[in-house]
Structure 1
Amino acid sequence: MEGLTKENAEKTSQENGVTSTYEVAMEKLSSLITQKKRDGTSPISDLEKRDRMLKYIEILGLEKHIGDLKIIHVAGTKGKGSTCAFCDAILRECGFRTGLFTSPHLIDVRERFRLDGLDISEEKFLQYFWECWNQLKDNIIEGLPMPLLFQFFTLLAFKIFASEKVDVAIIEVGIGGTFDSTNVIKNPVVCGITSLGMDHMEILGHTLGMIASQKAGILKYLNLRKQWMFFMTVQIN
């Protein structure tokens, strides 16, 4: 932690003598939003995005850790964030240590990463942020740029929850399901799909059936019966 603090201080002084380390981290995150506009390359396919996500996981050494996590994975058009929050509250009431990853945040990016019902502390956020950022930055090669913003958030969530040894991680899908950055979970404890609607049609399709097909992409064949039962429970509209 001492070395990490020193390294961050050096980064801070290089950027701006009075800028806090947390603000530097926010600037780095902002660069992930604008990099797509700057690089001038053609948009990559959904399959390429997923392949890149798997490579990022390999770089960070997270594959086994993700496999060891007990994960609840929730997709849907409406209510998925609330469903994740309900799951988190119920599990904490039963004595489990939980990690909750949701989006978007309202004020502070740390709202996306909750441990035992509380936003991750600034100290822990910075620790895991710089660990992920530096490892990825050191392994960038041609054809594998830094992750997009939501990809980085997802990687950071897995890093935090694995490192903090949560009993259960509740993961909210970003958009869709099949090609979402969160859909790298091979053996979730359970998956849920909340009520569906006509949203993000330019990405997911122009019929409810096409949208449902994308959402159902998070379901894993070996665990289908249990996941389908949860789908029936949360499909309330």
Structure 2
Amino acid sequence: MEEGKTKMEEGNENRKATAYEEALDALSSLITKRNRIEPGDRSYSLDLIREYVKMLDLEEAISKMSVIHVAGTKGKGSTCTFTESILRHCGFRTGLFTSPHLIDVRERFRLDGVDICEEKFLAYFWWCYDRLKEKATEEAPMPTLFRFLALLAFKIFAEEQVDVAILEVGIGGKLDATNVVRTPVVCGVTALGYDHMEILGNTLGQIAGEKAGIFKHGVPAFTVSQPEEAMRVLEETAAKLDVSIL
């Protein structure tokens, strides 16, 4: 401990450290080691995510949230970060959800460009965790790690009343937990390549189809230049949804 701290201050810091470690242990219990999503696997369905959203009473908050949704293989994290910075410097209160984290899980949740503080993280974490634990059933067990973190992000951004939330897709798009958002302000797809093929498919077309799953009817979408096979799928998906893809 730093010189000059009282025993009471040292005790408070130790209690805080223990509380944070307990939260990390609880998070670790949500880790799964599945390498493939089988057809019809309800544990990865959007319907189940929507049930969790109802458990947390977040339906209305998410429906009112201004969301920028970004999928892709390369560059989606940096694209989200650049977007957040631009909007913040234009005077908007921002929320940024990205993955993975390098050192501390709080890196995934940024408010106005700063990692959420430990005190707020713990308050929102246990609020979500305890309610989901209480309401979990055999049909709706505790969510997997990333799904829980996405739900936590929605809770944080709703309570902190951000003007805009920038969300980075975890894997794919169509079945990703972030895709519970029904009406984003805009969607974006960064450079596509071969990633998570055991889940998303073996061809660029199949992978592009999963990423394009974030497109919503009439919501503008942006993409960088893509390989022909991937671009064709993005354009076809956009056309079906009356989306102008730029």
TM category (shorter chain) comes to: 0.7 to 0.9
Q: Decide whether aligned partners of structure 1 residues 43 and 30 sit closer, same or farther in structure 2, where only a CA change above 3 A counts.
A: farther
**Aligned counterpart in structure 2 of residue 186 of structure 1, from 168, 177, 182:** 182
> Is 1:58 the counterpart of 2:61 in the alignment?
no
**How far 1:45 moved relative to its partner?**
3.6
Do 2:98 and 2:108's aligned partners in 1 also have CA atoms closer than 8 Å? yes
Q: Given residue 199 of structure 1, which amino acid in structure 2 is its aligned partner?
A: D
Do 1:193 and 1:235's aligned partners in 2 also have CA atoms closer than 8 Å? no
Moved over 6 A (4+): none
What pairs up with 1:6-155 in 2 under 5 angstroms?
20-33=18-31, 45-49=40-44, 50-155=46-151
What TM-score comes out, normalization by structure 1 length? 0.84
**Aligned counterpart in structure 2 of residue 199 of structure 1, from 184, 195, 198:** 195
Q: Decide whether aligned partners of structure 1 residues 141 and 236 sit closer, same or farther in structure 2, where only a CA change above 3 A counts.
A: closer
Q: Given residue 28 of structure 1, which amino acid in structure 2 is its aligned partner?
A: A
**How far 1:181 moved relative to its partner?**
1.0
**How far 1:141 moved relative to its partner?**
1.4
Q: Decide whether aligned partners of structure 1 residues 236 and 213 sit closer, same or farther in structure 2, where only a CA change above 3 A counts.
A: closer
**How far 1:19 moved relative to its partner?**
6.2
Superposition RMSD in Å:
2.2
Q: Decide whether aligned partners of structure 1 residues 168 and 131 sit closer, same or farther in structure 2, where only a CA change above 3 A counts.
A: same
Do 2:192 and 2:226's aligned partners in 1 also have CA atoms closer than 8 Å? no
**Aligned counterpart in structure 2 of residue 156 of structure 1, from 152, 155, 161:** 152
Do 1:74 and 1:194's aligned partners in 2 also have CA atoms closer than 8 Å? yes
SS of equivalent to 2:180: coil
TM-superposition CA deviations, 1:134-163 (whole Å, max 9, x none): 111110112211110000000000000000
SS of equivalent to 2:30: helix
Distance in structure 1 (CA, Å) of the matches to 2:59 and 2:204: 33
Distance in structure 2 (CA, Å) of the matches to 1:211 and 1:59: 31
Larger Rg: 2
Residue of structure 1 equivalent to 2:208: 212
Distance in structure 2 (CA, Å) of the matches to 1:62 and 1:102: 20
Aligned pair count reads 211
**How far 1:47 moved relative to its partner?**
4.9
**How far 1:56 moved relative to its partner?**
0.4
Q: Decide whether aligned partners of structure 1 residues 109 and 193 sit closer, same or farther in structure 2, where only a CA change above 3 A counts.
A: same
Distance in structure 1 (CA, Å) of the matches to 2:168 and 2:225: 16
